[in-house]
Structure 1
Amino acid sequence: MRLLHITATHLNLAGGIPVVLRDLVSAQNTIENFEARVLSIKADTSAMNSEFFDFLGDETFEEYIDNYKPEVVVFHSHYYFEYLRFYRNLVKRNIPYFIEPHGSFGKAALQKSRLKKKIANGIILRTFMKKAQGYIFLNKVEKSDAQFTTNHDLVIPNGIDGEKIVRKICPQEPWSFYFIGRFDKSQKGLDILFDALEMLDKKRETVSVKLYGKGTDEEVSNINHRISNLHSVTVINCGPIYGDEQLSAIEQCGVMLLTSRYEGFPMTVLEAWKYGNPCLVTPGTNVADEIVENGLGWKTELNAEDIAKTISLGLSEYSQQRIEYINRCKDYVREKYDWKEIAKLSLVQLSKGGL
């Protein structure tokens, strides 16, 4: 099979989709008779440091397609009007394509900028979506929550590099809760998380939280303002971290907090498990039930009172069973989400996806 991934997003190591594409396409190309490439239509690919990434640049899409001759194409995310120029060319050439929405088809996601998305999906992108062979979801929960579906939808999760999992148990002291990601208070639920932390602060509970990420000047200012109002709860804005710095900071460091209103399949959860860190999450992350069923953390509803109670519960249980949580997270993610296995699954799924 000759597969082409198409992306119109930025390409830097701070973003989830670029890193996912880099690791997925690398694993796909290790499989016999499976060739895969990523075509970036907007951003230069040098930062990805991958032989499987191409930048369209001055070449026309028609020339690229005629040279590479893909048998199937996957568009990553779909709110890029640039894709409208390309899908028509694929239809003319009878090349099937899938759309991978990365969480944007869910109920909560569609409520953000609701009118704009209604116009985009109902008018501008309607034919692009209708002509797709199907949609690719990151897990069954995202698929069941999707407001748009077809008869040929697939489920292909994100993954991790199992070979980079640290085998040695070396928990950091002292441990802390942490958040890593964009300081998007709406999607990530940081507004409600801080409401919960303020409730714990009023009860004079001792909780330590580290925030790793970045946002707009306004978002960072808001975060710092809310931090300044806390006393017994200690929150530190550590800024963004990447690569080896992330490994050093997060490896076996504590419990990850992700109180999102909506997600596709958050890479930060897989990364947390890889580092041996259980997660405290809301249903909007799409992994809450999986986490509870496999003893990988805690589920909380998206309200301040429940988040505060669950943080207290996590504080107690993690302190008592820390080594067990570390081992369970590492073993689980290594067994179920190694990129090699995800790549094999992608070949099977795409091969039977109504092509």
Structure 2
Amino acid sequence: MKLLHITATHLNPAGGVPVVLKELVSEQNKIDGFSARVLSLKASVDKMDSIYFDELQGGTFSEYINDFSPDICILHSFYYIEYNNVVKELKKKKIPYLIEPHGSFGKSAMDKSRLKKFIANHTIFRKQIVNSIGYVFLNKEEYNDSIYHKKHDIVIPNGVCTDDIEHGYQNKKRSFYFIGRYDVSHKGLDYLFDALDILESEGEHLHVDFYGTGSEEQCKYVNHRIDNYHNLVVKNNGPIYGSDKKIQLEQKGIMLLVSRYEGFPMTVLEAWKYGNPCIVTPGTNVYAETRDTNLGWVTALDSREIAKTIKCANREYSDSKEKYITNCKNYVTATYAWSCIAQQSYNTIKDVLSSI
């Protein structure tokens, strides 16, 4: 079976879809009878350091397809005009394709610039939706939240590298952290800071680190909110990468993610990998999983509820730190190793091809 992943996004090896594709395609090619490649329509593949990433380099998409001859394709993310020509060629050559929206089809995501998206979905991007055979969702919660569905919809989760997981108990700090883009609305940072304001007014003494970056306006917002704390120790550490990221997060306690919407947040998988339980809201799409497998705490997207949950988590983590660390690392190793995800993707996509 030949699978072609197609992307029109950036290829920043520091995070996001490119990192997911690099790890996934590497493991997919280790499976007998499975050949998978990634075609970048816009960005250079030089930084990805992978033999499975291609770019057109002056050639055409039609020529590339004729050369590789995929059985099926997956378009990653949505709202890329570059995919219109791709879809036209795939239809002409009768090659089926799936769309993996990475959270773009969720109700909250669609409510953002609702009218513009409604018009775009029924005009500019209509053929992308109409001609696809189905959608690839990252988990059941994203599937249930999607406004679009087709007969051949499938679920293929993200994974995480588990080779470097250090099993055992570490003397972690009892602290909290947020890591990600400083997108105030998307990540629910307004609610999070309002919750921290409540804890500040109640005289709580907690340590909260922020790791990330954003636009000048977003960074200014984060720094302005942080300046108001005296009881709480809150710090903006900026972005963090590579080995420094591993060292820092291995020492942290509880991750905070109170997003309005997500596809499947890699930051949560990474947190569990480092033994860090998480506080999550329904919009993160890992609400039920976190709750049902004791990988952290769940809360409503409400500042008072978030504040109450932080206090509860602080107490329970202090009493059962080793249990949370061990459970998170064991769970992610058994469930989300990239080798497991690759095999799942092979089986699932093979079933789709058989059914069409």
Shorter-chain TM-score range: over 0.9
1:128 aligns with 128
Please name the residue that 1:283 is paired with. Answer: 282
Alpha-carbon separation, structure 1, partners of 2:134 and 2:94: 15
Q: Which amino acid counterpart does residue 48 of structure 1 have in structure 2?
A: M
Partner of 1:89: 89
Q: Which residue of 2 aligns with 1:244?
A: 243
| Kept in 1: contact 2:5–2:38 (CA 8 A) | yes
Give a deviation string over 1:216-267, Cα, whole Å, max 9, x none.
1111011000000111111110110111111010014100000000001101
Who is 1:117 aligned against?
Answer: 117
Corresponding position of 2:149: 149
Q: How many angstroms apart in 1 are the aligned matches of 2:60 and 2:113?
A: 33
Which amino acid in the other structure matches residue 114 of structure 1?
A: R
- 1:30 — aligned with what? 30
Q: Which amino acid aligns with 1:95?
A: I
Equivalence map 1:86-235=2 (5 Å): 86-172=86-172, 174-235=173-234
Structure 1: distance between partners of 2:164 and 2:82: 36
> Paired residue for 1:269?
268
2:232 partner amino acid: V
Instruction: Name the SS of the counterpart of 2:84 in structure 1.
Output: helix
Give the RMSD, CA atoms, in angstroms: 0.9
Q: Distance in 1 between matches of 2:82 and 2:36?
A: 21
Query: What CA distance in whole angstroms lies between the structure 2 residues aligned with 1:242 and 1:21?
Result: 18
- Kindly indicate whether residue 307 of structure 2 is the aligned counterpart of residue 313 of structure 1: no
Per the alignment, residue 9 of structure 2 pairs with: 9
SS of match in other structure, 1:143: helix
Q: What stretches of structure 1 move > 6 A for 4+ residues in a row?
A: none
- What is the percentage of aligned positions where both structures have the same residue? 53
Alignment partner, residue 348 of structure 1:
347
Alignment of 1:58-97 (within 5 A): 58-97=58-97
Rounded Cα–Cα distance in structure 1 between residues aligned with 2:84 and 2:305: 43
3-state secondary structure, aligned to 2:170: coil
In structure 2, distance between residues paired with 1:166 and 1:46: 31
The alpha-carbon deviation at position 168 of structure 1 amounts to 3.7
Pair 1:52-2:52 in alignment: yes
Please say if residues 106 and 262 of structure 1, whose CA atoms lie closer than 8 Å, have aligned partners that are also in contact: yes
Code of the residue aligned with 1:161 in structure 2: it is C
Q: Is 2:139–2:155's contact at 8 Å kept on the other side of the alignment? A: yes
- What is the identity, as a one-letter code, of the residue corresponding to 1:317? E
- For the residue of structure 2 that corresponds to 1:328, the secondary structure is helix
1:3 is paired with a residue whose SS is strand
Deviations 1:29-51 (Å, cap 9, x if unpaired)? 10000000000011011111111
Unmatched segments (≥5 aa) in structure 2:
none
Shift of residue 123, structure 1, vs aligned partner = 1.7
When normalised by structure 2's length, the TM-score is 0.98
Checking the alignment, whether the CA contact within 8 Å between 1:252 and 1:276 is kept in structure 2 is: no
Counterpart CA distance in 2 for 1:234 and 1:129 is 47
CA distance in 2, matches of 1:121, 1:242: 36
**Distance in structure 1 (CA, Å) of the matches to 2:205 and 2:318:** 13
CA deviation digits over 1:11-64, x for unaligned, max 9? 112331011000000010100000000000110111111111012231110111
User: Which stretch has the larger CA shift, 117-126 or 312-321?
Assistant: 117-126
